[in-house]
């Protein structure tokens, strides 16, 4: 028989500190900018990597009452915190089992195709949402399908579409808005929704009854219209595993991509690409110690990164380094999107709020 593991697990050498006040303030800002429309919250992908259990109670206390996830497997954790009638599942009922689960759980499927419409009706129907494609060509009914009689049998709570280029000054935005206006005229629903985070910044014409912010809740700034209004929420930290001294000429990491030109004091940090800290950060001054920026040296490994401690004389083993993770700036520095920066953060981070 296998022995039971000890119940007292040591703390993780990685932690993700969440600013609850900033998170709540971001939702209130987006709700205010939505005008008469209510702001919901996209909390898919474990609340964009920050942790559903930490994020959702904060947003609910701030006033959020509409929640969006992508997969059915994301529903149980969300239902620990909010009523099922407030929850919509964006990928819809792809199977009969999905439809049965939606009815049993009391959450709304977002119907994306005529087969999903038929599947939902065959399962007994009930409140649902409907996604219509107005130009992004991902999920959603084609506008040419909106005259199908089956759609008139649905109990549609929210009819929605999704903007493809809201973060740009693009003619596609006005085209999608015009098409969605046709959708509103042709589909009977209690509410209509078009705007994501960037779409909120496009103005009142895009807001309808419900907006669906995601990245901006978590500190992302997808459009200049939100600049200066969104606060940083996530601050990753990693502990120093070991401090080493390098002689001039010694090399660091896989494939020896860094060679010390002088004697150096370096730290091995408990964070690597398995934690979402990808190799694109090599050579960047992204770690912070008491205001000092510390460069990454050599290749980033799966579980470790080596940093230059030349400007951090009092930093030692067990100390914590902060990642500079202001999302717009970090995206520009790394080449990753603001979405990737958050959702790549791995499960080894102890999420703290």
101 flagged as catalytic: no
If you search the block for the tokens 């799966």, which residue do you land on? 302
Which residue in 44, 101, 273, 339 is the catalytic one?
Answer: 44
Which residue in 101, 254, 273, 284 is the catalytic one?
Answer: 254
Sequence-distant (≥ 6) Cβ neighbours of residue 287 within 8 angstroms: 238, 269, 293, 294, 296, 307, 321, 322, 323, 324
284 flagged as catalytic: no
Give backbone dihedrals phi and psi of 41, rounded to 5 degrees, phi first: -150, 125
Which residues participate in catalysis according to the annotation? 44, 254
């Amino acid at each position: 028989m296998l022995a039971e593991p000890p119940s007292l697990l040591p703390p993780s050498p990685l932690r993700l500190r969440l600013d609850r006040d900033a998170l709540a303030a971001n939702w209130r800002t987006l709700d205010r900018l939505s005008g008469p429309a209510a702001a919901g919250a996209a909390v898919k992908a474990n609340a964009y990597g920050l942790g559903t259990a930490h994020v959702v109670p904060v947003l609910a206390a701030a006033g959020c009452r509409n929640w969006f996830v992508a997969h059915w497997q994301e529903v149980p954790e969300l239902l620990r915190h909010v009523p099922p009638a407030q929850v919509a599942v964006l990928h819809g009922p792809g199977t009969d089992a999905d439809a049965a689960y939606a009815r049993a759980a009391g959450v709304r499927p977002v119907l994306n195709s005529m087969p999903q419409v038929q599947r939902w009706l065959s399962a007994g129907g009930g409140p649902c949402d409907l996604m219509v494609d107005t130009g992004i060509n991902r999920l959603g009914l084609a506008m040419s399908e909106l005259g199908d009689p089956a759609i008139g049998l649905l109990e549609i709570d929210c009819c929605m579409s999704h903007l493809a280029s809201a973060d740009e000054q693009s003619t596609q935005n006005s085209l999608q808005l015009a098409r969605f206006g046709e959708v509103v005229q042709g589909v009977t629903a209690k509410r209509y929704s078009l705007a994501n985070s960037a779409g909120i910044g496009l103005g009142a014409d895009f807001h309808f009854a419900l907006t669906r912010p995601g990245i901006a809740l978590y500190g992302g700034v997808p459009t200049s219209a939100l600049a200066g209004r969104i606060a940083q929420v996530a601050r990753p930290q990693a502990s120093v595993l070991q401090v080493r001294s390098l002689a001039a000429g010694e090399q660091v990491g896989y494939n020896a991509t860094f060679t010390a030109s002088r004697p150096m004091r370096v730290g091995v940090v408990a964070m690597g690409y398995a934690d979402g800290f990808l190799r694109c950060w090599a050579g960047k001054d992204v770690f912070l110690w008491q205001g000092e920026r510390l460069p990454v040296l050599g290749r980033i490994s799966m579980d470790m990164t080596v940093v230059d401690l030349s400007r951090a004389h009092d930093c030692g083993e067990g100390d914590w380094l902060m990642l500079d993770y202001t999302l717009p700036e970090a995206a520009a520095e790394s080449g990753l999107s603001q979405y990737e920066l958050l959702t790549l953060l791995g499960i080894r981070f102890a999420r703290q709020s």
